[in-house]
Amino acid sequence: MKLRPRLTLLTVLLVVAVVAFTSFSTIMSFQYFLRREMISNQRTLFENFKQACHDTLYYSDDLGLKIRSESFERSIPGLAYAVFVDEGRGNLQLGGVESLRRFKKQNPVCEETPGGGGIAHLAMNEANLSGERWRTYCQKISLSNIKGKEASGSVFVGFNMNLLDSGLKTVIDRMWAILMWTMVIVLFFGVILAYFLAMQLTKPILHLTEGAKAIGDGHLDTHIPVNSADELGFLANEFNTMASRLRELDQLKDDFLSSVSHELRSPLAAISGYVELLRNKPLEQILPEKRAKALQIISESVGRLTHFINDILDLAKLKSGHVEIKQQPLDLKEAGEDIFGLFQPLLENKSISWSLDIPDDISVLIADDDKIRQVLTNLVSNALKFTPSGGTIKMSARNQTEFIQISVRDSGIGVPSDGLEAAFERFKQVKSARDHVVGQKGTGLGLAIAKGIVEAHGGRIWMESELGKGTTVFFTVPNKPAPKLNIAETV
């Protein structure tokens, strides 16, 4: 069953159960209180009649008692009789005509109830006479009358319980009828309300399901509307975040494919073009300079391809965590000099001056020599690439107790603020920066690899920059005590 009808049904069932339970318990307690009220009324009535019997016995006023008994007969529904039996006058029965007739028919006997308590002298018995239930209250009284003579007798008040019960039943039945109607009305509005409630609740779930299905079907640009601040709204938000993350991954995959194919295509085209050229004519017919040029371009292209494939493999290894970081003493000063030495022709070509600012106390670092050199080479090559002629590049190191912070600063074109983090993502290149590069363009993998290496060392890498003024890339390497020299590692 779908969620909406299920919710409707459940709500209706709940409403019915609550209404039924409330009605039933209301009627039951009402019935209980009515019965108690009835019994208390009967006792009051009995006390009332007993007082009349007292007066009669004291004044020997038989007529007064008869009148009282008849007035009871007329005014009290369910009263069977109200009779006084005068023992002093040979059990003379006094009361109204109807009372005496019914009293004779039942002929009750008043026995003293043993034991104490408020109703010790008030005997009560229930008799079943030819299908009718009678309840009789009785009590013996004795006193010395107005003439000073001892007088005694028994007070009897009886009720026809069938009559009283049927009265009670009529009231209860009427209540049941009212409650039934109430229940029908509550049910009617309950169903309508439950339906709207279920609709209200299931609407966002329906949106969610449709959205999730659309995302599942590959429509990653689906946006699920978030209209509430509750759990469902939270879930919708999570779905939207998931969809946008999937979009990013999808974009990344597309970018990766186009970048890889682009990076592979240009050197391959160059190689195949020049190989064709060399094959089409006998070698002797090609000018030696042209041959040398062709071979140089083929060799550069092969180098570029190898470099690119190595970068991709490095990145894959770093990403999967399968990279081994050696703990070796690395002379930072020496490494800096080596790297700048490597770029010397290019630096001279662009008249870029460089400097090293590495204090003696941190000249030696414990890290993976090759990999840190790879990071530094990358940073210096970027600085060189993005710094116009006449600029400067400076490599510095600072001891920050827990780690060594190394930086490469240039006076180049800078990176816009939204590119500071993005530059470390794979294949990310700032377009304006790429256009600026003369000669071989990069692949956008260098900083991603540097980040992977630094993080594998337990450090952090970031970039600070001011457009048009220059860029500084910082990275940290934890400051570790030098390990015991292991020949195998250092060789």
Ligand X SMILES: Nc1ncnc2c1ncn2[C@@H]1O[C@H](COP(=O)(O)OP(=O)(O)O)[C@@H](O)[C@H]1O
Which is nearer to Mg ion, 416 or 458 (by Cβ)?
A: 416
Using CB distances below 5 to 8 A depending on partner kind, what does residue 433 bind out of Mg ion, ligand X, none? ligand X
**Going by DSSP bridges, is the β-strand pair 150-160/364-367 parallel, antiparallel, or unpaired?**
unpaired
Q: Which stretch binds Mg ion (CB under 5 A): 272-280, 338-346, 440-448, 466-474?
A: 440-448
Backbone angles phi, psi at 376, to 5 degrees: -60, -40
The yes or no reply on residue 430 touching ligand X (CB under 6 A) is: yes
Could you tell me which residues come within 8 angstroms of residue 39 by beta carbon, excluding any fewer than 6 positions away? Answer: none
Query: Could you say whether residue 446 binds Mg ion (CB under 5 A)?
Result: yes
Please report how close the Cβ of residue 477 comes to ligand X at its closest, in angstroms. 19
Answer with the entry of ligand X, Mg ion, none that 454 interacts with (C-beta below 5 to 8 A by kind).
Answer: none
Q: Which stretch binds ligand X (CB under 6 A): 49-57, 241-249, 359-367, 426-434?
A: 426-434
**Interacting partner of 413 out of Mg ion, ligand X, none (Cβ under 5 to 8 A depending on kind):** ligand X
Binding segment (CB under 5 A) for Mg ion, from list 48-56, 91-99, 273-281, 379-387: 379-387
In the complex, minimum distance from the CB of residue 273 to ligand X, in angstroms, rounded to a whole number? 24
Residue showing tokens 């009828």: 177
Q: Which residue is nearest to ligand X, using beta carbons?
A: 442
Site for ligand X in 114-173 (CB under 6 A): none
User: Under a CB-based contact definition with an 8 Å cutoff, are residues 376 and 397 in contact?
Assistant: no
The enclosing H or E element of 422 equals none
Structure tokens at 194: 């439950």
List the one residue from 336, 444, 452, 459 that touches ligand X (CB under 6 A).
Answer: 444
Residue 268, Cβ neighbours under 10 Å: how many?
A: 14
Secondary structure letter of residue 72 according to DSSP: H
Q: 467, 416 in Cβ contact below 8 A? A: yes
Question: Residue 382's closest CA among 460, 293, 443?
Answer: 443
Instruction: Compose the 200-229 pattern: x for residues touching Mg ion by CB under 5 A, - for all others.
Output: ------------------------------
Interacting residue with ligand X among 164, 471, 475, 476 (CB under 6 A):
471
Q: How do strand 392-399 and strand 353-357 relate by DSSP bridges?
A: parallel
Which residue of 153, 442, 452, 459 would you call a contact of Mg ion, by CB under 5 A? 442
Stretch touching ligand X by CB under 6 A, among 52-60, 151-159, 160-168, 440-448: 440-448
Long-range pairs for 198-204: beta carbons < 8 A, 24 or more residues apart: 198/3, 198/4, 198/5, 198/7, 198/8, 198/11, 199/4, 201/7, 202/3, 202/4, 202/7, 204/228, 204/232, 204/233, 204/236
- Select from 386, 403, 474, 475 the one that contacts ligand X (CB under 6 A): 386
d(CA 333, CA 344): 16
Q: Which of the ranges 16-24, 89-97, 105-113, 378-386 carries the binding residues for Mg ion, by CB under 5 A?
A: 378-386
Cβ atoms of 162 and 132 within 8 Å: the answer is yes
- For residue 412, state whether it binds Mg ion (rule: CB under 5 A): no
Residue closer to ligand X (CB basis): 223 or 434: 434
Judged by CB, which is closer to ligand X: 72, or 424?
424
The residue within the footprint of ligand X, chosen from 82, 415, 453, 461 (CB under 6 A), is: 415
8 or 429, CB closer to ligand X?
Answer: 429
Question: Closest residue to Mg ion, Cβ-based?
Answer: 446
Measure the CA dihedral 424/425/430/431, to 10°. Answer: 160
Instruction: Give the one entry of Mg ion, ligand X, none that residue 412 binds, where binding means its C-beta sits below a cut-off of 5 to 8 angstroms depending on kind.
Output: ligand X
Give the range of 78-86, 240-248, 396-404, 437-445 binding ligand X by CB under 6 A: 437-445
- From 446, 453, 474, 475, residue interacting with ligand X (rule: CB under 6 A): 446
Q: Determine which residue in the list 68, 354, 410, 411 makes contact with ligand X, applying CB under 6 A.
A: 410
Residue 382 touches Mg ion, criterion: CB under 5 A: yes
Amino acid at 6: R
Give dist(CA 4, CA 106) in Å, integer: 66
Which of ligand X, Mg ion, none does residue 415 bind (CB under 5 to 8 Å by kind)?
ligand X
Please give the helix or strand (H or E) that residue 22 lies within, else none: helix 3-59
Residue 267 binds which entry of Mg ion, ligand X, none, CB below 5-8 Å type-dependent: none
Place of tokens 């494919």: 257
Tokens of 251: 């974009």
User: Which span (13-21, 181-189, 282-290, 428-436) binds ligand X, by CB under 6 A?
Assistant: 428-436
- Is 429 a binding residue for Mg ion by CB under 5 A? The answer is no
Burial 391-417 (b: 16+ CB within 10 A, else e): bebbbbbeeeeebbbbbbbbbbbbbee
**87 or 425: CB nearest ligand X:** 425
In the complex with ligand X, the residue whose CB is nearer, 53 or 383, is 383
Q: How far is CA 286 from CA 268, 273, 359, in A?
A: 22, 15, 56
H helices of 152-287, in order, are 161-216, 231-280
Task: State the residues that interact with ligand X by CB under 6 A.
Answer: 378, 382-383, 386, 410, 412-413, 415, 423, 428-430, 433-434, 442-448, 471
Site for Mg ion, rule CB under 5 A: 382, 442, 446
